Structure 1
């Protein structure tokens, strides 16, 4: 009686009876060395063709192949800058955090602790199931109280401390921006030694040309990437007349955080919820790896209804495919 053909013969290579469990004619030295009959060769060739045809069909059905489009990606962790809900936090701190978590937010960025200690803030975050990877601080904190601020950041669980505003008297010249960059480098080096990253958040004034230069470019050039990151506010850079995608390409990896709020367009650039304006969100997040984006915080500076505003922005970003 002829031995049963094992499945591995169909691809022209036998792995032996220990794999297929059948009496395999090619598992012995004699059968390996013996010449194949014309009929057997035809059967093997036909089997190979059937296998390859099946493999091609499976690949086509599953989208596998050199020309297959990559699977769409969505944001999985979306945060909110708490400045948007500042009035609600003043009235009900713990309850507001809980409502943000119920919307679907997993991260928040602080701008002040609303009279609470770092330990109390951390406890409220834990109760709500939220993380706070970032907090914005005034520039004076980096000058006068930096060790205490770094300690508070550790207690609360922040990974980033962000200077969110450069005072007007310090940005009248490019030398003012250079001095700010030097301060950022010093503060960033101290922060890095403490296991925290320093970052700077832009508005639109950094993009107004001065002495033939864009001040934001001066900051990027002078700040040491080892010590200073940048939190790009996508609304303000748009209002400032610049393209965030161009900055991602020119300064890759420098923007681990972004603020997401939209612009209704020129000339007034009225602030609107994410997805209701002109900012190309799909293109921006398609470049997230180039930019270095790790955290996205939705925001609206003056919302008519803060919770409705952040809920709308969250819903848009949560379903955005890129």
Structure 2
């Protein structure tokens, strides 16, 4: 599509977001971005970061969701975020959502996110859900006490030109004295300050309908996590998580509906895959086929 235009003109139009208006109606539709998280393919990235990125790009992935926290002994990757981001671009992909790591300071990591070219910084979970008597449970008082911390982090992110998004788990759909954690956050902070990264599988495991969740929060939803649930893998929720198309969520129906209501980029995430690259390849084939109307 772009080859038919002068290169400089195409770049200018892309920057203005107006390319679609200048292409004939008979042209092929713009391909939706598709992301994948480092977590899904950690082992392969550890063995050959640059080579794995080229393989992911060949599968059809356009964005990589990256973890932060610098380059300290004991971290997952030998390369720091800046070095990894350079390799992402060399592979023809883009740096996607950056993920805050609880091992480091928030401002430090927010500055790292800016340095690698990210525009969205994801906060994985409210720590109060890990501190209670039972994992995934807390009290309304504890959540309310933590909530101002989220606001302070969001203000820091905005100061640096980032959007902070809160990532949901199953517990974020369980009421705390009548309101769910997501409802409390949405009521407390405007979408311009705190966005959401909706994990569709965790929403489903929390008893919520993924499409309804995304519809409800609308423009606040800035990112999606695409994974599936296979209850036959045992009672452990983490072990039930599989790639899209391999579980109970009807992505063949769900994804086209989501594409109509949100521009948020979806990132394939499988928390503990048996074979991360196989899961990434399977997910890409399935999701691209769904979007092409072939699934």
TM-score range normalised by the length of the shorter chain:
0.7 to 0.9
In structure 2, distance between residues paired with 1:256 and 1:88: 28
CA distance in 1, matches of 2:176, 2:193: 25
Equivalent residue runs for 1:131-150 within 5 Å? 131-139=94-102, 141=104, 145-150=105-110
Residue equivalent to 2:61? 105
Q: CA deviation at 1:228?
A: 0.8
Q: Does the CA contact (< 8 Å) of 2:54 and 2:91 recur in 1?
A: yes
Unaligned 5+ residue runs, structure 2?
A: 1-24, 71-76
Looking at CA atoms only, which structure, 1 or 2, has the larger radius of gyration? Answer: 1
Assess if the C-alpha contact under 8 Å between 1:184 and 1:198 holds in 2.
Answer: no
- Counterpart in the other structure of 1:79: 35
Q: Deviations over 1:12-58 (max 9, x none)?
A: xxxxxxxxxxxxxxxxxxxxxxxxxxxxxxxxxxxxxxxxxxxxxxx
Contact 2:195 2:221 (8 Å CA) reproduced: yes
The answer to whether the Cα contact below 8 Å between 2:197 and 2:222 also exists between their aligned partners in 1 is yes
Describe the superposition over 1:135-168 as per-residue Cα deviations: whole angstroms up to 9, x where unpaired. 1113565xxx333222211221111111112221
Report the CA distance between 1:248 and its aligned residue. Answer: 2.7
Q: Secondary structure of the residue that 2:218 maps to in structure 1? A: coil
Q: Which residue of 2 aligns with 1:308?
A: 278
Change (3 A) 1:265 1:74: farther
User: What are the equivalent positions in structure 2 for 1:1-322 lying under 5 Å apart?
Assistant: 76-112=32-68, 114-139=77-102, 141=104, 145-167=105-127, 168-169=130-131, 172-265=138-231, 268=235, 270-281=240-251, 282-288=253-259, 290=261, 292-321=262-291
Provide Cα deviations, 1:224-280, integer angstroms capped at 9, x if missing partner. 311111100101110111112222332221111100001125894622221222223
Q: Distance in 2 between matches of 1:79 and 1:179?
A: 34
Shift of 1:128: 1.0
What is the distance in 1 between the residues matched to 2:30 and 2:272?
27
Q: Distance in 1 between matches of 2:126 and 2:196?
A: 14
TM-score (norm. length: structure 1): 0.69
Distance 1:85 1:185 in 2: 32
Q: CA deviation at 1:298?
A: 0.5
Contact 1:133 1:160 in 2 (8 A): yes
- Root mean square deviation, CA, Å: 2.7
> Within 1, Cα distance between the matches of 2:259 and 2:147?
25
CA distance in 2, matches of 1:288, 1:76: 9
Runs of 4 or more above 6 Å deviation = none
